[in-house]
Copies of this chain bind each other. A is one copy, B any other.
Amino acid sequence: MAKTAWAETPEKIERWGLFEAVLEATVDGDPFDVELVGVFTDGRMTVRAPGFFDGDGVWRIRFSPPETGSWRWASESPVAALNGRSGRVEAVAPSAGNHGPVGVVEAYHFAHADGTPFRQVGTTSYGWTHQPEAKRRQTLETLKAAPFNKIRMLVTPNAAVSTNTPLSPFVRTGAGETDFDLDRFDPAFFRRLDASVAALGEIGVQADVILFHPYDEASGLNAMSAARDERYVRYVVARLSAYRNVWWSMANEFDILKKSDAGWDRLFQVVRDADPHGRLRSIHNWRRLYDNGKPWVTHSSIQNGSAVLDDARAETYRSVWQKAVVFDEVCYEGSLSERWGDLTGPEMVRAFWHGLIGGTYVGHSECFPQEGGTEGGFWLGEGGELRGESWTRLAFLKSVMEAGPKPGIDPIDKWWEQHLGGVAGQYYLRYFGDAAPTEWAVDVPRDEIVGGERFKVDVIDTWNMTIEPVAGAFVMQKRDDTKYFFRDPARPTISLPGRPWMAVRVTRVD
């Protein structure tokens, strides 16, 4: 991360990189309440980036340039020492691996700002940033080797694991579990959060930053006044928005928290208006869904494991809101007796395949006891090591996604019982789940097919991670008995091995 004082010396950072202006002052009153904004312009557009107090007389303004070129900045503040500071920064072409922030494309999919598809294969570890340094580093090492390109993580600690680290988002006033001064942020806590987000960015993982959650009733952190909620949200946004791998999740299980929908509407708008970089915004449910049709929701983040128990239900969420859908909790792979944490590896992987066929995306986590054996000891709660069987298969799934259409897969001929995801006329994916078929009819629906098209077929074992091509081409002709499907009359079916967890891929070859 490049840092510059308010000296005039321009520095260079990459487009979509993080520029930081550091300003110093001594103020009367609460330094967290000082208004400060950095006004950045390249002559074509102007971006107003909020500053924040970082303790010890230091304020920072962070900005991620959306375009290459020369950006001038100047600070605005009622505090004279923080007002009228200015400088210049040159945004240069991004280096390899910097594809920019992720946004929604073609309504239902994700891509980086440079157009690179973002094939979401997510995981959740609520409290990984709240763990001791050794465990945090272990989590990052695990992620480096894992397929996950997005992680859901809490800002404020989950009560179950909050004692693993002495840091809290609000300054402690005593040793009791409610002894916090909810008017005073602890910058040290947030510096660790910054560093965690930055570390994820370095290994290409999006940080789905969960602003509120219901897992800490005791401390008061999660049932603050509306004014404190807003002040807290503005502080987090000012600190983190310039990291290009940040997504905002307004809440985990929002409907357990004691806020009205109007309250959530307002907080969504606070985030939208405070965030000069326009990072993605979603909200995650327990049993009741927030109206994801509202304009400040950029994509749907849904907890509903039953939605990915087959290849059809997931699609309904796309069509109702006409937004990209991530099933961010579908139960977890694990050994719990609780049904939300008892998925087998194959069941966890199946959820991802079903979501993919439905044109949506899915999230993983694990609940296997680690050393110590508390609930918080799970990957879900603390990070650490992965112990399940699904994550390697999810890496395989991701490779199939990456070899597929850009930016992603849509249901084919939706609302008819097709079981196919892909791109009509070009690419079809069929997943059989725990069925163990010995044969499959290579029928393609008529959309974008006129006859004469040639396809190749691959048989995919999603569990054993093999792809076996079927020899020769399939030349499509209209079926005699229906106008809805085409097939190759010379080879209408293929053989399948009679094992579960199989898929078939049909790809146009000319």
Contacts and interface: CB of A to CB of B under 8 A. Distances in A.
A319 interface: yes
A304 B322 CA distance: 16
A231 to B, nearest CB: 30
A3 interface: no
**Max count, chain B CB within 10 A of own CB: residue among A289, A305, A316, A319:** A316
Contacts of A102: none
A305 B416 CA distance: 7
Nearest to A319: B289
Nearest to A320: B320
Contact of A307 (B291, B293, B305, B316): B316
A417 B312 contact: no
Interface string A277-289: 0000000000111
A262 to B, nearest CB: 13
A339 B483 CA distance: 10
Contacts of A339: 416, 484
Interface residues of A, number: 29
Contacts of A292: 320
> Considering residues A289, A309, A319, A483, which has the most beta carbons from chain B within 10 angstroms of its beta carbon?
A319
Contacts of A287: 414-415
Given A306-B415, A306-B416, A313-B312, A289 B484 contact: no
Interface in A353-389: none
A319 B319 CA distance: 14
Residue from A305, A320, A322 with most neighbouring chain B CB atoms (10 Å): A320
A483 B319 CA distance: 36
Nearest to A314: B316
Contacts of A415: 287, 304-307
Interface string A321-349: 11000000000000001010000000000
Contacts of A313: 312-313, 316
Contacts of A417: 306, 309
A309 to B, nearest CB: 6
A116 to B, nearest CB: 29
A310 interface: yes
A184 to B, nearest CB: 39
A466 B320 CA distance: 38
A309 B320 CA distance: 18
Contacts of A337: 482-483
A16 interface: no
Contacts of A289: 319-320, 322
A242 to B, nearest CB: 33
A235 interface: no
A317 interface: yes
Contacts of A316: 307, 313, 316-317, 320
A322 B337 CA distance: 31
Contacts of A482: 337
A145 B133 CA distance: 76
Nearest to A286: B415
Interface in A456-510: 482-484
A45 B398 CA distance: 63
Contacts of A309: 312, 417
A341 to B, nearest CB: 13
A317 B289 CA distance: 11
Given A310-B312, A337-B483, 18 more contacts: A289-B320, A291-B293, A292-B320, A304-B415, A306-B312, A306-B417, A307-B415, A309-B312, A309-B417, A310-B310, A313-B316, A316-B316, A316-B317, A316-B320, A317-B320, A320-B321, A337-B482, A339-B416
Nearest 6 interchain pairs by C-beta:
A316-B316, A306-B415, A320-B320, A293-B293, A291-B293, A304-B415
17 contacts: A287-B415, A288-B319, A291-B321, A304-B415, A305-B415, A305-B416, A306-B415, A307-B316, A310-B310, A310-B312, A312-B313, A313-B316, A316-B317, A317-B320, A320-B321, A337-B482, A337-B483
